[in-house]
C-alpha cells in the first residue's frame, strides 16, 4: 500500500507569535518522531511554466498527534511548529535585572540596560534554542566582554532584536512564570511586537508602520485577485482619546508621558508602573504607538486563489485598491499590514490563501 504524506495547512500569526503547519501521514506513521525537524517546499507555476527550483514554505519541528492504526493501514495526523511553541512550553525563573554604567558583576547586570537587552539575556541565558552565531552579535553590547553567552550546537533560533530604539530601564523584576508569557509581558510594556518568522528568526521590534521610512508595498490587492468580496471590519477610530503613562526611577523621580498632548474623542487609557531611567522621552514614543495603532480604521480579511500566502511574510505592507458601495469604501492604494496568513492545501495542486490585514494609521 502506498505511503502518502499530506500538508493540510500552513499559517502564521503575529498575535499567536509565529507559524505552524498541519497534515497527515498515511500507512507509515512510524516515521513520525517527536521534535524531529520538518521542512516543507513548494513548486511555483508561472506563465512560463514550473520554476526550476522549489521555494521554502515552512521549517519547524514535528509534534505527532494520536494516530489510528487498522489491520491494513494507518492514519497519523501531525502538527509542526517553530520556536515560539517550544518557548510556550518552558518556564522562566524569577530574575532581578539592574542597569550598570560599566563593569557588570553578573549576567543580570546590564550596561545601558533596555527592555530589548533583557529579552536577549533571557533567550541567550535561559533557553537553548538560540543559534550559536548570535552571541557574537549581542554579548558585547550587554556586558562589554565581561561575560559571554554559552551556545548550544542544537540551537536554531536567529534573532532580530531592536536594541537601538528600545526603552531604557534601570531595574526590572522578572517574575517566575511561563517563558513565552514573560517575554510577551516585556514586549507589551513598550508596545513592541514579538514573533518568530517561518525561517525561525525571532523579531522583537516596534510595528514597522511606525518606522521613519516605510517599505514599498509587496502586493497590490484588487478585485481581480479575490475569490470573494473583502470582509471589512470598520473599527472605531475613537477607541482611545489619549494614552497616559506614569512611572518612576529607582531614585523615586516621577515620570509621565502622554499622547496626544490634548485628548481627542474617546476614553483616556492610563498605564502605571514603568521603571525607567531619568528621561521619559521614550515613554512618549510608547504612548504614541499605542494611540495610533488602537485607532486604526479598518481590519480586512481577503481570500485569494492559490498559495500566494507562502510568498508573503507577516507584516508585509500591502496596497488595496477596492470599491464597495455596500461597505461604503472606495480605496485607491490604501495601505495595510499583514497580521495573519493561512494557506489551505486542496486537491489537484490547488490552494486557498486567507490574509488578515490591519490598516496603516
pLDDT digits (tens, 9 = 90+) for 275-313: 665 556 678 888 999 999 999 999 999 999 988 999 999
Segments making up each domain of the chain, as ranges: 4-81, 90-206, 210-235+296-359, 242-293
- pLDDT of the residue at 67: 66
- pLDDT of the residue at 1: 35
Pair 236, 299: CB distance under 8 Å: no
Q: Tell me the C-alpha distance between 122 and 261, whole Å.
A: 36
User: How is residue 95 written as a grid cell?
Assistant: 530574575
Pair 132, 155: CB distance under 8 Å: yes
Pair 186, 118: CB distance under 8 Å: yes
What's 210-235+296-359's CATH class?
mainly beta
Residue 60 has pLDDT above 90, yes or no: no
Q: Tell me the C-alpha distance between 228 and 251, whole Å.
A: 59
Task: Give the range with max mean pLDDT: 77-81, 233-237, 257-261, 332-336.
Answer: 332-336
Question: In whole numbers, what is the pLDDT of the chain averaged over residues?
Answer: 88
- pLDDT of the residue at 4: 47
SS3 label, residue 310: helix
- pLDDT of the residue at 70: 64
Least confident of 89-103, 104-118, 300-314, 342-356: 342-356
- pLDDT of the residue at 2: 42
Q: What is the pLDDT of residues 198-214, one digit of tens each?
A: 889 999 999 999 988 99
Residue 8 has pLDDT above 90, yes or no: no
Read off the pTM.
0.89
- Alpha helices (H) in the chain, listed in sequence order: 83-88, 115-125, 135-143, 179-189, 281-294
Residue 66 has pLDDT above 70, yes or no: no
Distances (CA, A) of 268 to 49, 245, 291, 358: 56, 11, 10, 22
Q: Percentage of the chain surpassing pLDDT 90?
A: 59
Q: Tell me the C-alpha distance between 119 and 186, whole Å.
A: 8
Residue 44 has pLDDT above 90, yes or no: no
Average pLDDT over residues 62-80: 73
Give per-residue burial for 64-83: e unless 16+ CB within 10 Å, then b.
Answer: beeeeeeeeeeebbbbbbbb
Q: Tell me the C-alpha distance between 355 and 207, whole Å.
A: 18
Beta strand 242-248 with 268-275 is parallel
Residue 9 has pLDDT above 60, yes or no: yes
Q: Looking at the chain, how many residues does it have?
A: 361
Residue 34 has pLDDT above 90, yes or no: no
Amino acid at each position: 500500500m502506498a505511503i502518502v504524506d499530506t500538508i493540510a495547512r500552513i499559517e502564521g500569526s503575529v498575535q499567536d507569535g509565529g507559524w505552524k503547519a498541519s497534515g497527515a501521514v498515511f500507512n507509515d506513521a512510524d516515521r513520525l518522531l517527536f521534535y524531529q525537524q520538518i521542512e516543507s517546499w513548494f513548486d511555483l507555476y508561472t506563465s512560463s511554466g514550473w520554476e526550476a527550483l522549489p521555494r521554502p514554505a515552512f521549517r519547524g519541528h514535528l509534534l505527532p498527534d494520536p494516530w489510528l492504526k487498522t489491520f491494513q493501514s494507518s492514519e497519523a495526523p501531525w502538527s509542526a511548529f517553530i520556536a515560539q511553541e517550544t518557548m510556550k512550553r518552558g518556564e522562566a525563573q524569577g530574575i532581578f535585572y539592574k542597569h550598570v554604567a560599566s563593569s557588570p558583576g553578573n549576567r543580570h547586570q546590564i550596561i545601558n540596560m533596555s527592555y530589548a537587552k533583557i529579552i536577549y539575556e533571557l533567550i541567550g541565558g535561559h533557553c537553548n534554542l538560540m543559534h550559536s552565531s548570535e552571541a557574537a552579535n549581542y554579548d558585547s553590547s550587554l556586558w562589554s566582554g565581561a561575560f559571554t553567552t554559552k551556545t548550544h550546537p542544537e540551537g536554531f533560533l536567529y534573532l532580530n532584536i531592536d536594541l537601538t530604539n528600545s526603552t531604557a530601564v534601570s531595574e526590572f523584576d522578572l517574575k517566575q512564570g511561563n517563558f513565552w508569557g514573560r517575554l510577551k509581558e516585556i514586549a507589551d510594556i513598550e508596545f513592541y511586537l514579538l514573533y518568530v518568522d517561518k525561517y525561525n528568526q525571532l523579531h522583537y521590534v516596534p510595528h514597522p508602520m511606525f518606522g521613519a521610512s516605510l517599505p514599498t508595498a509587496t502586493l497590490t490587492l484588487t478585485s481581480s485577485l479575490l475569490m470573494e468580496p473583502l470582509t471589512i471590519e470598520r473599527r472605531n477610530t475613537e477607541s482611545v482619546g489619549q494614552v497616559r503613562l506614569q512611572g518612576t526611577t529607582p531614585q523615586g523621580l516621577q515620570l509621565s508621558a502622554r499622547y496626544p498632548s490634548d485628548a481627542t474623542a474617546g476614553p483616556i487609557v492610563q498605564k502605571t508602573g514603568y521603571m525607567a531611567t531619568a528621561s521619559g522621552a521614550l515613554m512618549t514614543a510608547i504612548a504614541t504607538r499605542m494611540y495610533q495603532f488602537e485607532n486604526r480604521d479598518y481590519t480586512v480579511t481577503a481570500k485569494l486563489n492559490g498559495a500566494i500566502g507562502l510568498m508573503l511574510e507577516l507584516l508585509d505592507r500591502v496596497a488595496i485598491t477596492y470599491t464597495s458601495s455596500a461597505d461604503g469604501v472606495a480605496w485607491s492604494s490604501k495601505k495595510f499590514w499583514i497580521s495573519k496568513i493561512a494557506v489551505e492545501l486542496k486537491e489537484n495542486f490547488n490552494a486557498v490563501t486567507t490574509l488578515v490585514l490591519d490598516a496603516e494609521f
